[in-house]
Structure 1
Amino acid sequence: MAGSLLFPKSLPSLQCRRGIVGATISAPRVLWGTFSLPKLSSRGLVEESERRNGCTLATTTLLENDSNLSSQKTQNYSRHNTKSSDPKVIAKLFAIMEAVADRVEMHKNIGEQRDNWNHLLLTSINAMTLTAATIAGLEATIAAGPPLKALKLSSTGLYIAATGFLVMMNKIQPSQLAEEQRNAARLFKQLHGQIQTTLSLGKPDIDDVNEAMDKVLALDKAYPLPLLDAMLEKFPSKVEPARWWPQQKRKHGLGGKIEGNNGWNRKLEEEMRQVVGVLEKKDLAEYTRLGGKALKLNKFLAISGPLLTVLGALGSSFVGTTHSSWPEMMGIIVGAMATVVNSMEHGGQVGMVFEMYRSNASFFKLIEESIMSNTNKKDVERRENGELLEMKVALQLGRSISELNHLAAAAAASSTRNMEVTEEFASKLF
């Protein structure tokens, strides 16, 4: 009778297929509210099912609340990742991941702050320069006396103040600083994802911890947060790609047969070397050249702006001291030119453009070193899987694998004919 009450004929019964049992119960709400079901043991259900039906109950699913489900998932994740792994290694990787997440927020917030500096300082300097030029024009319409002296002091003072602010702004290049912090935030997010992948794959070791630490320190060095003493040189004598990754040890020479080992073969290795040649001779060289042009333009504008405001201050201070009109003309025209130059430099964010070109060159340099660090290892098993590396390189360059193969074939054909490298750039993203 108890069995007929608990499992009436209208309810679906137990189904078994190849040792897997699924129990589905669909009962009216009043049935569960009227009767109190006895607490059954999971083990008893399994034994009873095996004895009566000749099949095995593999999984018993119970309804739980959200907190219990979340706790169970967390425990399963921990058991999966800590299996055959040192708990200290797991703890260290989680600590590094927390520090990386904190750095992402730091660089994001400071980048927004320095972008605001660029807009506010540019607006303030242009307002002071235009006001000084306007006052210099008014000086020519006033005869000698106290009003003229007041206007001269005001115009000269505004020009000098604008010069001081402009020198400071040209020194720190807020638009370039903001671009540096944006790049750092993006790269720290990328590192955070890499650590998560390492943990999800399971069995991390101390080498993974050391590698993550090295990457964090390399990023800190490449994109420092403080301005004093640690700020990157904004007007370097030579354009060099920024290095935000640890120095990789190179082992030259190949040994043994590599056909079919770890996804590598001679053809793939040669294709990767051809891609490196295109990256070095086309993409890296082009963005280094563009970065050099942006740097020269930025230097010219950074010198011209303060020089023009100083000339404006001199012209304004000599108004009324001579019968010639050159002081008034200098105070007005030079002030207008200084405004144009400042707007072109900081409104156009030439420093940011230079940093963007430098960062792109660094991106190609990283791909080049990543390929060479694999192809130069004698032990093929210690390399990254060849097919996986090929797919990564293709995605980073915005190409399909077939397009990457076509690029390598075109580069190889050019080299055999003693011609320059193919006119096609390796990257389709930039």
Structure 2
Amino acid sequence: MAGVQSSSFLISSSSSSSTSFSQRKPIRAAINFPRIGRRTNISLPTLQTKGLVEELGLKSTGFTPITENLRPTRTVDQVNARPDPLVVAKLYAILEAVADRVEMHKNIGEQRDNWNSLLLTSINGIILAAAAMAGIAAGGGAEVALKLSSTLMYLGATGMLTIMNKIQPSQLVEEQRNATRLFKNLYNEIQTTLSIGHPTVSDVKDAMERVLALDRAFPLPLLGAMLEKFPETAEPAVWWPEQRRRPARRIGGNNNNDWNGWNGKLEDDLKEITQVLRVKDKEDYLRLGQKALKINKILAISGPLLTSLGAVGSCLVGSSSWAAILGVTAGALASVVNTFQHGGQVGMVFEMYRCNAGFFQLIEQSIDSNLSEKDMERRENGEVFEMKVALKLGRSLSELRDLAAKSSHKKQDIDEFGSKLF
């Protein structure tokens, strides 16, 4: 190759060992190379320098390939942008605790659901058996034994029903369901924070506060920490910590004209959405929750009262004509009341309404927290936040904006609820 000075090479081949080949004309082939001064568009493939160096053994001679010195240098901002390993470790520790909470609430919820069904069946069986004994004792026969057995069964059913009405197993099951769902939601949010990258100390504090707030809102123990099952009024459930100021975190470019996804129309729309949720959705669920609470209170008192009357009637069987009627009728009514209260899970319905009202209150507080923040950098990105609100309400972005427009035109009343999910 180094001896190329002309534009062609002559390659000839002849063979002296064979006479047939000697009689043939010589074969000539020409390979044209471009002249040095001529411009060409020939592109050569990139060579892998590292492989050549290893094959030629140039490392032993001290030769350093150029490509090894062309590593990209990191700026100070890129180095500082790396997540703090301690922060990441703390978030993973919280993530493990949250996963454990999910499993605990799930298992205990299944256990308390079994309580509800087993206690309901057992107590109804005891009540009906006691009523049957009272009726048989009134007809004669082993009157004393039947009277005593019926009275004891009624008293036992009264005690069991009182405890069951106090703890409200169906309501406990709904608490555990909500806790499981909310802890799963928190687990996913922490995973999202870790996958996006660059978590901060503020993220760790926020996750810790949310875990503790959920523990307070949905306690696992029954003694001492159990929620009040019969409050004076129905109030929204609160499972989130107090809203605090967010750290500055922008999504997108650093254009000064960019208001972190916020504008005047978006703020007005969200204010209208808040008004609709407050007046329509939350108020409606609190009203329904108040009705469910009153019904549950009446049923919780009526059940043990009827079983107590049945015990009195069965004890007085034979002494008066109305005693047997009272013993049998009270037992039948107590069984109906118990089935309606715990079979119909009235306590669960009250808890569901209470948590739904809390869901709308959380959306209201999130909107108010963002709108009250004057520093746009400390707000959640407006476009992302609007999409979150729309998804939580089961609406598209256009439907959410249409609802805000309807609310702005009808200041007194609007005939549409904010949520389409429930």
- Classify the TM-score, shorter chain: 0.7 to 0.9
Q: Is 2:168 the counterpart of 1:173?
A: yes
Q: Relative to structure 1, is the Cα distance of residues 19 and 224 closer, same or farther in structure 2, using a 3 angstrom cutoff?
A: farther
Structure 1 window deviating more from structure 2 (184-193 vs 241-250): it is 241-250
Give the aligned residue type for 1:167.
T
Taking the TM superposition and a 5 Å limit, the aligned residue runs for 1:358-373 are: 358-373=354-369
1: distance between equivalents of 2:116 and 2:289? 21
Residue 180 of structure 2 is aligned to residue 185 of structure 1: yes
Where in structure 1 are there 5+ consecutive unaligned residues? 1-17, 22-40, 49-55, 57-79, 252-257
Change (3 A) 1:395 1:151: same
2:313 pairs with 1:306: no
Question: Normalising by the residue count of structure 2, what TM-score does the alignment of the two structures yield?
Answer: 0.79
Counterpart of 1:378 in structure 2 is: 374
What is the alpha-carbon root mean square deviation over aligned residues? 2.4
Structure 2: state its 5+ residue gaps. Answer: 1-42, 56-66, 68-77, 247-255
Q: Does 1:160 align with 2:155?
A: yes
Q: Is the 8 A contact 2:245 2:378 kept in 1?
A: no
Within 2, Cα distance between the matches of 1:196 and 1:208?
A: 12
Q: Percent sequence identity over matched residues?
A: 63
Match of 1:277 among 263, 268, 275: 275
> Structure 1 residues 46, 365: closer, same or farther in 2, change over 3 A?
farther
Offset, 1:141 = 1.1
Distance in 1 of aligned mates of 2:272 and 2:133: 64
Residue 424 in structure 1 maps to residue 416 in structure 2: yes
Q: Which amino acid in the other structure matches residue 43 of structure 1?
A: K
Instruction: State whether structure 2 residue 216 is matched by structure 1 residue 240.
Output: no
Correspondences of 1:45-64 after superposition (within 5 Å): none
Shift of 1:82: 11
Q: Is the 8 A contact 1:180 1:223 kept in 2?
A: yes
Are 1:275 and 1:408, in contact at CA under 8 Å, matched by a contact in 2? yes
Partner residue, 2:51: 44
User: Structure 1: how far apart are the matches of 2:44 and 2:99?
Assistant: 46
Q: Structure 1: how far apart are the matches of 2:292 and 2:44?
A: 70
Q: How far off its partner does 1:83 sit?
A: 6.4
| 4+ runs deviating over 2 angstroms | 18-21, 45-48, 80-83
Match of 1:12 in 2: none
Q: Does 1:393 align with 2:389?
A: yes
Greater gyration radius:
2
- Inter-partner Cα distance in structure 2 for 1:353 and 1:234: 12
Q: Deviations over 1:63-110 (max 9, x none)?
A: xxxxxxxxxxxxxxxxx9996111111100000000000000000000
For residues 239-288 of structure 1, give each alpha carbon's deviation from its aligned partner in whole angstroms, at most 9, with x where no partner exists. 1111111111479xxxxxx9741010000000000000000000000000
Separation (CA, whole Å) in 1 of partners of 2:213 and 2:193: 19
Q: Residues 120 and 342 of structure 2 are in contact (CA less than 8 Å); yes or no, is this contact kept in structure 1?
A: yes
Q: Distance in 1 between matches of 2:314 and 2:220?
A: 40
CA distance in structure 2 between the partners assigned to 1:287 and 1:388 by the alignment: 28
Deviation digits for residues 25-54 of structure 1, max 9, x if unmatched? xxxxxxxxxxxxxxxx98216999xxxxxx
Match of 1:220 in 2: 215
What SS class does the counterpart of residue 318 from structure 2 fall into? coil
Indicate how the Cα distance of structure 1 residues 216 and 84 shifts in structure 2: closer, same or farther if over 3 A, else same.
same
The aligned counterpart of 1:10 is none
Deviation by residue 1:203-223 (Cα, 9 ceiling, x = unmatched): 111111000000000000000
Aligned to 2:26: none
Q: How does 1:3-402 map to 2 (within 5 A)?
A: 43-44=50-51, 84-142=82-140, 147-249=142-244, 260-322=258-320, 325-402=321-398
Aligned equivalent of 2:60? none
Contact persistence 1:312–1:332 (CA under 8 A):
yes
Q: Deviations over 1:130-158 (max 9, x none)?
A: 00000011011115xxx211101100000
What residue is the counterpart of 2:62 in the other structure? none
Deviation of 1:427 after TM superposition, in Å, equals 0.2
- TM-score w.r.t. structure 1 length? 0.78
The CA distance in 2 between the partners of 1:422 and 1:388, in whole Å, is 27
Give the C-alpha shift of residue 421 in structure 1. 2.8
Does the CA contact (< 8 Å) of 1:81 and 1:200 recur in 2?
no
Which residue of structure 2 aligns with residue 66 of structure 1?
Answer: none
CA contact (8 A) 1:243 1:362 kept: yes
The count of residues paired between Structure 1 and Structure 2 equals 350
SS, match of residue 410 in structure 2: helix
